Amino acid sequence: MWLAEGFADYLGYLEAGVPARLAARELAVDIHRDGTPTALPTSAHFDGANPRLAQAYEMSWLACRLIAATVGQQGLVRFYRNVGAHDGTAAEAMEAGLRAELRLSTAQFTQRWRRYLTEQLA
At 35-52, the pLDDT tens digits run 999 999 999 999 999 999
Rounded CA-CA distance 110/89 in Å is 18
At 103-122, the pLDDT tens digits run 999 999 999 999 999 999 97
| Neighbouring C-alpha atoms within 13 Å toward the C-beta of 113 | 26
Q: Is the pLDDT of residue 73 over 90?
A: yes
Quote the mean pLDDT of the chain.
Answer: 95
pLDDT at 79: 97
> Taking the complete model, does pTM exceed 0.85, yes or no?
yes
pLDDT at 122: 78
Show me where the domains of the chain are located: 2-121
